[in-house]
Structure 1
Amino acid sequence: MANTPQSKKRARQSEARYAVNKARRSRIRTFLRKVEEAIASGDQAAASEALRAAQPEMSRGVTKGVLHKNTVARKMSRLSSRVKAIGVAA
């Protein structure tokens, strides 16, 4: 348990930061789920639109330190290739 005023303040800051990061991560997951659902439906237009909406959120997660840069780059790359594959298959 925090004893000094500094450690008490850091604990408060940590809780606040945790809540913000959790909300941001949840928001990113929601955008990713929408892309996944659009890919599963087979609608390339909807999938590309969902991906276009998700990309800035994912990039913002990197900027804010919620996600690692390479993780987001990998996810964007894989999702975009899957969206493109819908057009080829159809």
Structure 2
Amino acid sequence: MANTPSAKKAVRKIERRTKINKSRRSQMRTYVRKVEEAIASGDSGAAVAALRAAEPLLMRAAQKGIVHKNTASRKVSRLSHRVNALGK
């Protein structure tokens, strides 16, 4: 258990940050799932729109340290390839 004032403050800061990170991670996953659902339905237009909405969230999550930047880039790349395959 935290005893010093600085350790207690650190615990409070970590709790706040954890809530924010959980929220961002959840939002990111929701948008990725929307892209995957659009791909599964075969709707090219909806998939493109969902990918355009999801990409900034993925990259912002990488910027904020929620996911590694290579992980975010990989997810965007793989989703893009799948969306592009629908159009062909």
TM range (shorter): over 0.9
Gaps of 5+ in 2: none
Q: Name the CA distance, whole Å, in 2 between partners of 1:74 and 1:58.
A: 10
TM-score (norm 2): 0.98
CA distance in 1, matches of 2:69, 2:63: 8
What is the identity percentage for the equivalent residue pairs of Structure 1 and Structure 2? Answer: 60
Count of matched residue pairs: 88
Deviations 1:14-72 (A, max 9, x none): 00000000000000000001000000000111001000000111111011111100000
Structure 1's consecutive aligned runs of 4 or more residues displaced over 3 angstroms after TM superposition are none
Partner of 1:81: 81
Q: Which runs of 5+ in 1 are unaligned?
A: none
d(CA) in 2 for partners of 1:22, 1:4:
27
Alignment RMSD (CA, Å):
0.5
> Deviation at 1:4?
0.3
Per the normalisation by structure 1, the TM-score is 0.96
